[in-house]
Structure 1
Amino acid sequence: MATKELYIGVMSGTSLDGVDTALVEIDNGQPRLLAHHDFPYPDEIRQRVLNICLGQKTDLIEIGQIDHLLGVLYADAINALLDSTGYPNESIRAIGNHGQTVFHQPTGSTPFTTQLGDANIIAAHTGIDTVADFRRKDIALGGQGAPLVPAFHQTIFQPTDSSIVVLNIGGIANISVLSPNAPVIGYDTGPGNMLMDAWCHLHRGQPFDKDAEFARQGNVDTDLLATLLEEPYLALKAPKSTGRELFNLDWLTSKLTHHVMDHHDVQRTLCEFTAQTICAQVEQFTLGPSPEVLVCGGGVHNPLLMQRLSALLPDWSVCATDTKGISSDNMEAMAFAWLAYRHIHRLPSNLPEVTGASRLASLGVLYSAN
């Protein structure tokens, strides 16, 4: 087995704010980010994906077309990364592509998860072997299929005498709990940016609340916050995962039925809701003299949210993963490069104690470029 290999990880999350690509060198299992590239998510594709995610009427033709368009989009993003770095495609061992989640239902009588973005197109258009479909094997083994990134976090962050919680704030917020001499714990805490982004887009016409400028003009409405905190998902025990299927504008509208409120106050309350639901989970894992919350994902750029996390967790150090040498914006793309490496070398990549799967497994399906 080669000591050093190059992989590309591709991630487009529930926020639908772009395609993140990361060129990663993996040396004996240890990843190092060499380059990254952010590729725009076309408005038309974003809206068509949202239509499916929010339950609008669709058909197999629409799903097939979006699957194709996303495959082309991901291939274009990867080729843009290669063009910007000068690395030839033959130098890349494999691509790890998460795909675009359009529905995630890991419980019930017929659990399933669906990610679109035809990996055959990616492999054909880039000339690079591609690993995709990472979640369904874990679900077939009785797991949630999510979160998958805690295994990667365990590789790059090693606790000593205190807990480390890696907090990813994308559309949904999830945590990886790394405690000394203890199994890894990981699950979705609830909404991250998703509700804030949706409300900001509805009332500001902007995809997100830049620098929390919209939220800062409002005040927390304690009655609305109490209503939001009654959501049953928040009280479920892990393993658990969630997504846009639950936390969406329809869900929020149903909570606002008996509240006549200023739009700024709703935005501020949604920020507080995200902060409180995260911190209620994190504080359970306080251990040692210097526990740390290492934040990655888009939420790290929301200064109000970061301030609230620090205020609500006074015994913890809250900072971006950048302070540990890992880019907060490229963490998940790096993780899928690492997951591709694990698949290529037939190494297990899920954590049954996190997802609830019945056993370890090497996740993903290989789509050959040849």
Structure 2
Amino acid sequence: MRVIGLMSGTSHDAIDAVGADIALREGAIQIRIAGLLSRPYPEWLRSELIAALPPGSVDMATVCRLDTAIGQAFAAAAESAVAEFFDGTADLVASHGQTVYHWVSEGTTHGTLQLGQPAWIAERTGLPVVSDFRSRDIAAGGQGAPLVGLFDVLWLAGRPGRSAALNIGGIANVTVTGDPPSAFDTGPGNALIDAAVALATGGAEHFDRAGIRAARGMVDDYLLETLLAEPYYDAPPPKTTGKELFNRTYLERVLRSRPLAPDDIVATVTALTAHTIADALRPFAPTEVITSGGGTRNPTLMAMLSERLRTAKLRTSDELGLPSAAKEATAFAVLGFLTAHGLAGSYAACTGAAHATVLGSLTPGAAGFAFPSVPKTPPQRLTLTG
């Protein structure tokens, strides 16, 4: 089955599209990645999206405009991916959409909102679309995030020792193998780093390219200890967070009592990401940490993280045959495949749900729904092929 996986994460800078040939045979999901493309949001759309995110306020007209514009941007990315990877013919689009709000209160997730109207994707490509993956897990009592837990558990099945799959996007999340496995958000990944760079440059820059600012700055121990006092870090998993908490206003509030040179702020929040990831993983004592996401392109962050992890081997998903930039879009392609065949895409032990559920909502394509049948036995492993 030829599936296009679409993802835009909490850095909300671009739409990643993966083309994946997916099959289910003898209890194993088999994936061949046909290609990856990334399409930046138009600057006007990114600016309006950022302004609408917490703690900003927004009216319903803006929500409608964003839902439409993001849906159209996702549709354009999907159309390009189908043409480039599958010569114009595919079977399904799995669209995560753009998270604009994840409603968490006192450790309980009550709702979530991803924009990017799937009807635009279905109309432009003619393909059925699976979208709105997170809501069903929340309705079943889960956190709704991170939803890559099932993918990670199947992908890492059989590896020696204890493995942790770490994705460093705007928010960092991990899946740790074991019996049972565990998955949760550790806290900020790039979110506060990006906010610090935006503060330092008056909004002219949005991220610390190659970790240069953090490398030339000095970590301020007082600010770091202040940031580490955030109660979220002490909460037990499963747990989830987002830019509803870790945003520019959060950083500005902390900095009122500790004004610092801009690069020192960037260095300190980079250290915060490394500390909180390593601290969250320490009780599990993983033997390897397999990283993906935008944070892997920040060598200063990766060096800090390697130092904090101590004995755990730090590697990237590329070493296991899964391109780091394609990891999350590939995971949602798999979740879309499972949904299309009526198979559960959540792992209750990872999200805290009462039971595993079939995820998402289906939008019909030009020919409605016509998917090949597969065995209804839940898969036990996942393999990547060349």
TM normalised by structure 1 equals 0.94
Residue 65 of structure 2 corresponds to 65
Report how far residue 54 of structure 1 moved. 2.3
Aligned-residue offset at 1:98: 0.4
Deviation track 1:201-223 (CA, whole Å, cap 9, x = no partner) reads 23232121111111111111000
Query: Partner letter of residue 105 of structure 1?
Result: W
Q: What's the secondary structure of 2:310's corresponding residue? A: coil
Letter in 1 for 2:73: L
Q: Secondary structure at the match of 1:35?
A: strand
CA contact (8 A) 1:220 1:272 kept: yes
Aligned residue number for residue 96 of structure 1? 94
Return the offset for 1:110.
8.1
Q: CA RMSD in A?
A: 1.3
Q: CA deviation at 1:86?
A: 5.1
2:145 aligned with 1:146: yes
What CA distance in whole angstroms lies between the structure 1 residues aligned with 2:62 and 2:309? 45
Query: What residue in structure 2 maps to residue 54 of structure 1?
Result: 54
Report if aligned partners of 2:54, 2:101 keep a CA contact under 8 Å in 1: no
Corresponding residue for residue 303 of structure 1: 299
AA matched with 1:77 = A
1:9-28 Cα deviation digits (max 9, x unpaired): 00001101210000001121
Q: Is the Cα contact below 8 Å between 2:102 and 2:109 reproduced in 1?
A: no
Aligned to 2:289: 293
The runs of 4+ residues in structure 1 deviating greater than 3 Å are: 106-110
Inter-partner Cα distance in structure 2 for 1:79 and 1:267? 38
Structure 1: gaps of 5 or more residues = none
Determine if contact 2:339/2:359 at 8 Å carries over to the other structure.
Answer: yes
Contact 1:200 1:267 in 2 (8 A): yes
Matched, 1:183 2:180: yes
Give the match for residue 318 of structure 1: 314
Show the counterpart of 2:378: none
What SS does the aligned partner of 1:111 have?
A: strand
**Matched residues in 1 for 2:111 and 2:3: separation?**
28
| Equivalent pair of 1:106/1:145 in contact (CA under 8 Å) | no
8 Å CA contact 2:55, 2:249 repeated in 1: no
Q: Label 1:359 to 1:86 Cα distance change in 2 as closer, same or farther (>3 A).
A: closer
Paired with 1:104 and 1:112, the residues of 2 have a C-alpha distance of 6
Residue 162 of structure 1: how far off its partner (Å): 0.6
Render the CA deviation track for 1:10-68: whole Å, top value 9, x for unaligned: 00011012100000011212222111111111111112111221232321111111101
The aligned counterpart of 1:25 is 21
What is the percent sequence identity of the aligned residues?
Answer: 37
Aligned AA for 2:322?
A: I
Q: Taking structure 1 as reference, are residues 83 and 161 closer, same or farther at Cα in structure 2, changes over 3 Å only?
A: closer
How many Å apart are 1:257 and its aligned residue?
Answer: 1.6
Aligned pair count reads 359
User: Which residue pairs with 2:194 in the alignment?
Assistant: 197
Q: Which moved more, 1:197-206 or 1:343-352?
A: 197-206
**2:339 equivalent to 1:340:** no
2:327 to 304, 308, 331: 331
Looking at structure 1, the residues matched to 109 and 169 of structure 2 have their Cα atoms a distance apart, in angstroms, of 27
Q: Which runs of 5+ in 2 are unaligned?
A: 367-386
Kindly provide the amino acid, as one letter, of the partner of residue 319 in structure 2: T
**How do 1:206-217 and structure 2 match up within 5 A?**
206-217=205-216
Where in structure 2 are the equivalents of 1:237-256 lying within 5 Å? 237-256=236-255
Deviates more, 1:142-151 or 1:221-230: 142-151
CA contact (8 A) 2:195 2:251 kept: no
CA distance in 1, matches of 2:15, 2:157: 29
Name the TM-score, length of structure 2 as normaliser.
Answer: 0.90
- Contact between 1:107 and 1:144, CA under 8 Å: does it hold in 2? no
1:176 counterpart SS class: strand
> Matched residue of 1:56: which SS?
coil
Partner AA of 1:302 in structure 2: N
**1:77-121, CA deviations, whole angstroms, 9 ceiling, x for partnerless residues?**
1112223335223xx221110010000014468811000000011
Q: 1:262 aligns to what?
A: 261
Shift of 1:225: 0.2
Match of 2:80 in 1: 80
Please identify, of 137-146 and 54-63, the stretch whose mean Cα deviation from structure 2 is larger. 54-63
Amino acid at match of 1:354: C
- Distance change (3 Å), C-alpha of 1:86 and 1:365: closer
> Is the CA contact (8 Å cut-off) linking 1:22 and 1:333 kept in structure 2?
yes
